Structure 1
């Protein structure tokens, strides 16, 4: 029998008509109830309600099925711009976001999902942000312009949004945002140097997030590094690890343990390298790349095929001068140590992990399709500022330079921007969106704009001396996407 030409029987016809009628009745019922009965439509019939932090309409709820919490606020003096932020749910009452409401910006965003540490997925976070944009438009209409911004994990999804969702946003600002596979391997490189030269027996992969095993590993690494700092040879090797790994010599969490060093002063610079390294050794507080390792099925870190001599050449020029001086003073061979590192057994990534991370939204390829401003603090020990250099080079190679700008703030810590520095970035991008031309992003101009928008804030944009070439740029190929392990 020719099924293609077969007519439906009576039972199929009745079922089809029944479903059609039910669907129509449901639609009529929803219309009759009115918009205010829908799960995501608030009662906007009254006046804007006064709030301790301003006069605005607020909508706070959860996304159906996934349950992600979100918050939206639209001020009475809305200027037509919407700012979307991964972390807006919890930061809504911050000084920065209250000031943005006063300036007429609508704001929206989510709360990070429960269990994120053990099941991190930036693609899911992007899906949540798109859902919130849909909810915003259903309630308040389409914004004149939408800016996606965020810091840390919020910066990570912002970079991806600029590349894969130019249909939903008009501009993007990523602050201290990582490309996760890049970050994981940059993290690996410095520890690989330390393992090869100082502690071959200690683990640097698959370290537990907590528990007695993690505590023992953390204690062992602390003892190794502290002992190394007491000898000329050890100090030279600590400096080499920071330089090859392209970590910041002055950067970490909490309060800065030492002043920002003079990069031409060998003693100052090496001391700062040591203090930064100690603060970033394995512990419960340094989970940044552990969550990346846990995200995918399999291990994403690898250094197969890496030439660590070449990686050293790409390092910060002033760091390298310090390394070479320290090796000379210690009377040991720099060439010999790099050979030893190159000869040390390597780590291979699992094809399943590369495949998982190669999917859109989980990594970045250097193709921003809307105006995109990227900011970093110079003292960020978690999301290495050197990654920005890798992204910039991809942007140039791919022909997107006119859409991209970067800027740096001279400050210790991760996401430690002042309100004025945030506002200057937002205003700069707004001008670029409105005019089609970038205003100046030179440090002096950004500092002037920052002080104008928030006179009480410090503003420390500056010209940052970065690495010659970033070592860990990875753009997945077809073999990664399909999971070819060869």
Structure 2
């Protein structure tokens, strides 16, 4: 273990951590944290480096943001190592001017030199977290990621003492574990900020609904579940889907059906990976809205680039998605008001009966989940129950077509139903992409959470207040919080039943 430590400078803090996590347990069991030696702990001056630009990656948030225009230096102590039980790499940095607050992030090891994290370090925040494990795509388990994050907190406290307050934050998969930490580990954190956070079964089923409509009405012979992630099989499937949707877009009937699929699926009409293909449409203009739906859909069809939900089925024993018992007429009625208006107009222009189409979808052969997969995803840490026990701020971009904004609304609805609304706030950012938050937007979210923890009450979180706060904290970064138009109700809220836990 000693040769695994990588502390800059020759003066090292040596610590050995042995942690055993049993896959079926609900907690992490720490066998011991044993200090072998403290050798002249010194805080080394690190030159502030410019962040490298992250490559476009749909599944790893880009935290580069706006480069800092400062030549100043930051004094901090750094600990970099790996957790023995799974080999998860972690990183801890504590500045000389530590303000007592620790920010813990699933992706910190890889994003430590981002503009956001360098600025937070300079402002006195300690930061810690892990890197995503290399085998994550084939062996994804957010419960194990939570165990790793708890391990990092244990290591931090053993070396630096207990922080005044701990804020768990993260985006994408980091947001997923943040939601779970707020629900099941209120003893370890004081607040949480979840960006574009998925609840895996919700995401899988919401993604299924849009594809199911397309299969029922446009491409009944093409697959939507049990998709291979190997080449050339997945590319062949992707090419066939692209051809089917492009052909559909050439006809009034096809355009109407594409709009119906997006509306029933509660997918954003403007959203996807990479750069936006067209400007955000006027949702009151049915033709412009449909064109945006089509352009976005082309980026979301099954392919090797859209494996976000397929990876959920690689980790669990069996196919996760299901739509048994779903009434798609109700699903349509729960959709976005302006999307529904566009669908009705397009169907009228195409001279086809919308009610008959909905009946056809409802009569189409359903997708059944493997009970073993549902059981696996029912475990604590792998799903969410809508019961945060510490202040939780959830933020989502409007153009996120991986973790749909409607999922955030669904979580808010579940929190309200459970009586936990005092702990929860939701904010939306009007921007294309997944986890495409600006530096100032992150800073305002963190400041809001600090105020909530320290004062015991939420400050204002309306869009105007958040934008003003963001601009006051960092004026060289765009803040685009806005009043998001929500759907009537999110279609795919799910919490495990006894039968789900038993795998029945």
Q: Report the Cα offset of residue 43 of structure 1.
A: 4.9
* Offset from partner CA, 1:135-165 (integer Å, 9 cap, x none): 0001100000000000000000000000000
Task: Indicate the residue corresponding to 1:16 in structure 2.
Answer: none
Counterpart selection for 1:251 from 263, 271, 291 = 271
Counterpart selection for 1:39 from 16, 20, 31 = 16
Per the alignment, in what secondary structure is the counterpart of residue 162 of structure 1?
helix
Question: For the residues of structure 2 that align with 1:319 and 1:344, how far apart are their CA atoms?
Answer: 23
Q: Which moved more, 1:285-294 or 1:69-78?
A: 285-294
Is contact 2:167–2:193 with CA below 8 Å preserved after alignment?
yes
Q: Report the Cα offset of residue 47 of structure 1.
A: 3.5
Counterpart selection for 1:75 from 87, 95, 104 = 95
Counterpart selection for 1:396 from 403, 410, 416 = 416
Question: For the residues of structure 2 that align with 1:288 and 1:112, how far apart are their CA atoms?
Answer: 15
* Offset from partner CA, 1:5-41 (integer Å, 9 cap, x none): xxxxxxxxxxxxxxxxxxxxxxxxxxxxxx9554266
Q: How does 1:286-435 map to 2 (within 5 A)?
A: 286-435=306-455
Task: Indicate the residue corresponding to 1:154 in structure 2.
Answer: 174
Mark the CA change 1:371 to 1:253 in structure 2 (over 3 Å): closer, same or farther.
Answer: same
Counterpart selection for 2:222 from 189, 202, 205 = 202
* Offset from partner CA, 1:230-267 (integer Å, 9 cap, x none): 00000000000000000000000100001011110111
Is contact 2:146–2:181 with CA below 8 Å preserved after alignment?
yes
Question: For the residues of structure 2 that align with 1:374 and 1:314, how far apart are their CA atoms?
Answer: 22
Question: For the residues of structure 1 that align with 2:86 and 2:344, how far apart are their CA atoms?
Answer: 54
Q: Gaps (5+ residues) in structure 1?
A: 1-34
Question: For the residues of structure 1 that align with 2:417 and 2:118, how far apart are their CA atoms?
Answer: 39
Question: For the residues of structure 1 that align with 2:13 and 2:294, how far apart are their CA atoms?
Answer: 60
The CA RMSD over aligned residues, in Å, is 1.1
Task: Indicate the residue corresponding to 2:29 in structure 1.
Answer: none
Question: For the residues of structure 2 that align with 1:65 and 1:184, how far apart are their CA atoms?
Answer: 29
Task: Indicate the residue corresponding to 1:26 in structure 2.
Answer: none
Structure 1 segments (4+ residues) deviating >2 Å:
35-47
Q: Report the Cα offset of residue 46 of structure 1.
A: 4.0
Per the alignment, in what secondary structure is the counterpart of residue 288 of structure 1?
coil
TM-score by length of 2: 0.88
Counterpart selection for 2:82 from 38, 45, 62 = 62
Task: Indicate the residue corresponding to 2:45 in structure 1.
Answer: 50
Q: How does 1:100-249 map to 2 (within 5 A)?
A: 100-249=120-269
Per the alignment, in what secondary structure is the counterpart of residue 113 of structure 1?
coil
Question: For the residues of structure 2 that align with 1:273 and 1:320, how far apart are their CA atoms?
Answer: 13
Mark the CA change 1:312 to 1:139 in structure 2 (over 3 Å): closer, same or farther.
Answer: same
Task: Indicate the residue corresponding to 2:8 in structure 1.
Answer: none
Task: Indicate the residue corresponding to 1:285 in structure 2.
Answer: 305
Question: For the residues of structure 1 that align with 2:305 and 2:75, how far apart are their CA atoms?
Answer: 39
Question: For the residues of structure 2 that align with 1:91 and 1:328, how far apart are their CA atoms?
Answer: 50
Question: For the residues of structure 2 that align with 1:390 and 1:448, how far apart are their CA atoms?
Answer: 27
Per the alignment, in what secondary structure is the counterpart of residue 345 of structure 2?
helix
Question: For the residues of structure 1 that align with 2:240 and 2:248, how far apart are their CA atoms?
Answer: 12
Mark the CA change 1:44 to 1:363 in structure 2 (over 3 Å): closer, same or farther.
Answer: farther
* Offset from partner CA, 1:163-197 (integer Å, 9 cap, x none): 00000000000000000000000000000000000
Question: If you compute each CA radius of gyration, which structure gives the higher value, 1 or 2?
Answer: 1
Is contact 2:214–2:258 with CA below 8 Å preserved after alignment?
yes
Per the alignment, in what secondary structure is the counterpart of residue 378 of structure 1?
strand
TM-score by length of 1: 0.91
Question: For the residues of structure 2 that align with 1:414 and 1:218, how far apart are their CA atoms?
Answer: 21
Matched, 1:91 2:119: no
Task: Indicate the residue corresponding to 1:272 in structure 2.
Answer: 292
Question: For the residues of structure 2 that align with 1:151 and 1:222, how far apart are their CA atoms?
Answer: 29
Per the alignment, in what secondary structure is the counterpart of residue 465 of structure 1?
coil
Mark the CA change 1:48 to 1:250 in structure 2 (over 3 Å): closer, same or farther.
Answer: same
**What is the aligned residue count?**
450
* Offset from partner CA, 1:65-105 (integer Å, 9 cap, x none): 21100000000000000000000000000000000001100
Mark the CA change 1:405 to 1:37 in structure 2 (over 3 Å): closer, same or farther.
Answer: closer
Task: Indicate the residue corresponding to 2:69 in structure 1.
Answer: none
Counterpart selection for 2:493 from 466, 473, 482 = 473
Question: For the residues of structure 2 that align with 1:340 and 1:67, how far apart are their CA atoms?
Answer: 50
Per the alignment, in what secondary structure is the counterpart of residue 205 of structure 1?
coil
Per the alignment, in what secondary structure is the counterpart of residue 187 of structure 2?
coil
Matched, 1:460 2:480: yes
